[in-house]
Amino acid sequence: MKRAGLALAGAAATLGAAPALAGEVVITVTDLRSTKGVVRACMTTREDIFPKCIKDPGSHRTVVPAGDKIEIRFTGVKPGNYAIALLHDENDNGKADRAMGMMPKEGYGFSRDAPVRMAPPKFRDAVFAQDEGTNRLTIRMRYFL
């Protein structure tokens, strides 16, 4: 009888220590200059590779058609600190085209509207905290040319 009581107590303790629930990140993309091509989105927790989070096998990535109104939804997002990079790939060639090897010819955007100066923003400028539940963000596309 004593063993059964201990087993039930252990099972109850295990149930109380459930893992954190995954949440959802919903991104509204604004200010696209055209409906050509696609918008590539990548969300990562890895500061060392941001904004090129394609190098992160644990990142959340998607490609959606460009349009007048775009909403991107990442589900199953574990709590943590994330940063998002967007590319308006107008010719849908899978890369960020550049003029004179430096200036982006296509649109880009980052979480927290992280500033772009002479290089992409740092992770710390784009990072946001994701907890359980839904996190809604708006990212404005920007264009140099």
pLDDT in tens, the chain (145 residues): 555 444 444 444 444 555 668 899 999 999 999 999 999 999 999 999 999 988 899 999 999 999 999 999 999 999 999 999 999 999 999 999 988 877 889 999 999 999 888 889 999 999 999 999 999 999 999 998 7
Beta partners for 71? 28
pLDDT recorded at residue 138: 98
Measured distance CA(35)–CA(88) in Å, rounded? 9
- Model-level pTM greater than 0.75? yes
Count CB neighbours of 131 within 10 A.
12
pLDDT recorded at residue 6: 43
Specify the fold of 20-140: Immunoglobulin-like (2.60.40)
pLDDT recorded at residue 117: 84
Domain boundaries, the chain: 20-140
The contacts of residue 55 (CB under 8 Å, 6+ apart) are 49
Measured distance CA(6)–CA(127) in Å, rounded? 45
